[in-house]
Structure 1
């Protein structure tokens, strides 16, 4: 692992421009990633300027940067401001990508750094020199102007690296658990449980006493989660996976699935839930199956194929998408404030993220690096350090 370096003296001179990573879909049917130099805009009274020191590469960021581009055919070229990455988009995917991206787009959903300048308002001035995190988009940049109200202030002594992943995974995990509990579910099944988000969700459920069934795909991942205290871990590569999954669901009473995979993954678990429910004492047989509602939420698309729902799950089921950005818009402010406060308080424990490698902005424009990021494996999360090697 390469060392991280986010030390910064707030008295250092601020540049008059920022270097920012952008993505565009060309008329020729290609995605182009490039670094663009942009002048810093004047701050409004409620704004702060963050010197971005750490920003994670999440699966959602890969989607924003590349969409359906074919990285196996990608190449680098010389652009106006330096090297660019060019990758073709399959013809079938091009219309959808063009309709969702009308122009060059800054990327990077979240990140953290030091507030180096502030507008005239008291709220903005109070953040000067502090380490803050933000989910403002365009965070793959050396500087980012953000409204003070959008910043999450971290406890003193928290580094930008520790704060970089404060929003997407922590708030998604907390939000999904809050959703499950609010809808009356008392236990949860999660797939891709060894992922960064999956491990955070495990720690939340352990702390809050919510029974959790973890589905993984290897013995190594099973051992990883059991070492963290997971009681129910089912390995999809084992021959008795389905039997073990039914037993775990029956033991916990889980009735909701949180699934970032898509395809047939969640439907298979709904089928196992129906079997587990049928074992309950006093459960009457019916041609319509059980009357217990089984809920599937898909929050990712690691499997690009259509979502499949089998017909052996009875009639009491529901399936839908779960999106963090929508959750943040529709959830009551007092609930969000409580969740954000918990993230800040537990940023080094429950919500700690670990990175395999820190890379510079220029290193992002590399087919080799992006191929690793586009096919995430356990323990291979990358962190962008915008000021590295500058």
Structure 2
């Protein structure tokens, strides 16, 4: 099992052993990615541990990154069938050096999931039979053993599918707003804004009266966010985008952007527009530009190209932002407060939508892989490991 316990197993119940299937990703030293299912024995829970049957786990972009790594998806082949299928793809030689620490390691995948607690140690017996949302990795599995404190008990009537994505997207959206406040900004820009996460951020900012500039990539996405009540929605493919963006930034005073792309020219265009918007309020010309700091945080990887940034004055920055690092920074008490907010609004603000539900063995289908790696807005997949029973 993929959880290491610090306590001894709790043998207070004479229960038959559990067996389950789990998805594993391995990149070999000879440059191949292998995806397969393994059958494993589920170790009994320790005193403060539970075993959760996993019925629902989202396939997030961050999960795809670990699942497939930098594999060349045009080289995918499959052998075997069903739960015995193995999916193989080539790793580009130039990418191998960066993978040194994971070579030949069989890694579990999946950040989050949800279902019912089916076994519990004596110190966690109050969770037995409860439907919980869990996070901690290794969720593409039929059973997950983990400490009690990593479970969030879902409200009465909330299904595993509704609670499956209660961690990554909701806490990322809340983390963006909290980062804005902690760093002294007063408004936000968000790219790929028509995603599940983007819709959550729209609702949060509406409720808390935070100006939000949403950047999308099509008129259909623009219309969807307008229907949701978003005030500022801009299509980056429009010829008027740069001018409209500058106007929106001048109105909102937004100097912080969270970018889901991580490559290409968009981050640079946003920084330029921020500088132009700020320049409208400068009393005199300065060759150094505005002294107000402008920041773009990259939190996704939808675009693998290098980041392109022109000269934008001297007060700006581009950096990475990762949810797990942010939560470590704010500490367990503040993290729990955010999780409580998510739980209370799981069917409203933090509601997730999925394109389709698949099984663990479906992940190993080349045809299904081509669908879930499109990474297009509104196409998120939900994995149900119980379908492989």
Instruction: Specify the TM-score bucket, using the shorter chain as the normaliser.
Output: over 0.9
208-217 or 197-206: bigger deviation:
197-206
- What CA distance in whole angstroms lies between the structure 2 residues aligned with 1:14 and 1:238? 61
State the shift of 1:98 in Å. Answer: 3.4
Map 1:320-331 → 2, pairs under 5 A: 320-331=319-330
Aligned partner of residue 285 in structure 2, secondary structure? coil
State the shift of 1:69 in Å. Answer: 0.5
The CA deviation string for residues 265-320 of structure 1, in whole angstroms up to 9 with x for no partner, is 2121010000011112x543211001111011111121112222210x11111221
Q: Is the 8 A contact 2:302 2:375 kept in 1?
A: no
State the shift of 1:94 in Å. Answer: 1.8
Residue of structure 2 equivalent to 1:70: 72
Change (3 A) 1:271 1:210: same
Residue of structure 2 equivalent to 1:6: none
1:296 aligns with 2:334: no
State the shift of 1:80 in Å. Answer: 12
State the shift of 1:389 in Å. Answer: 5.0
- What CA distance in whole angstroms lies between the structure 1 residues aligned with 2:337 and 2:35? 37
1:319 aligns with 2:318: yes
13-22 or 212-221: bigger deviation:
13-22
- What CA distance in whole angstroms lies between the structure 1 residues aligned with 2:238 and 2:318? 27
Residue of structure 2 equivalent to 1:276: 277
Map 1:19-168 → 2, pairs under 5 A: 19-78=21-80, 82-121=84-123, 124-168=124-168
- What CA distance in whole angstroms lies between the structure 1 residues aligned with 2:376 and 2:230? 20
Residue of structure 1 equivalent to 2:231: 231
Map 1:8-19 → 2, pairs under 5 A: 16-19=18-21
Count of residues in correspondence between the two structures: 374
- What CA distance in whole angstroms lies between the structure 2 residues aligned with 1:277 and 1:150? 44
The CA deviation string for residues 208-233 of structure 1, in whole angstroms up to 9 with x for no partner, is 11100001111000001000000001
Residue of structure 1 equivalent to 2:3: none
Q: Is the 8 A contact 1:33 1:85 kept in 2?
A: yes
State the shift of 1:79 in Å. Answer: 8.5
Q: Is the 8 A contact 1:37 1:81 kept in 2?
A: no
Stretches of structure 1 that go unaligned for 5 or more consecutive residues are 1-12
State the TM-score, normalizing by the size of structure 1: 0.93
- What CA distance in whole angstroms lies between the structure 1 residues aligned with 2:321 and 2:104? 25
State the TM-score, normalizing by the size of structure 2: 0.93
- What CA distance in whole angstroms lies between the structure 1 residues aligned with 2:241 and 2:285? 25
Aligned partner of residue 278 in structure 2, secondary structure? helix
- What CA distance in whole angstroms lies between the structure 2 residues aligned with 1:327 and 1:14? 41
Q: Is the 8 A contact 1:274 1:314 kept in 2?
A: yes
Q: Show structure 1 runs of 4+ deviating over 6 A.
A: none
- What CA distance in whole angstroms lies between the structure 2 residues aligned with 1:98 and 1:368? 29
The CA deviation string for residues 37-61 of structure 1, in whole angstroms up to 9 with x for no partner, is 0001121101000010100000011
Map 1:167-206 → 2, pairs under 5 A: 167-206=167-206
State the shift of 1:101 in Å. Answer: 4.5
Aligned partner of residue 387 in structure 1, secondary structure? helix
105-114 or 75-84: bigger deviation:
75-84
Residue of structure 1 equivalent to 2:341: 342
Change (3 A) 1:112 1:219: same
- What CA distance in whole angstroms lies between the structure 2 residues aligned with 1:74 and 1:299? 27
Residue of structure 2 equivalent to 1:373: 372
State the shift of 1:334 in Å. Answer: 2.2
Give the aligned CA root-mean-square deviation in angstroms: 1.5
- What CA distance in whole angstroms lies between the structure 2 residues aligned with 1:14 and 1:66? 35
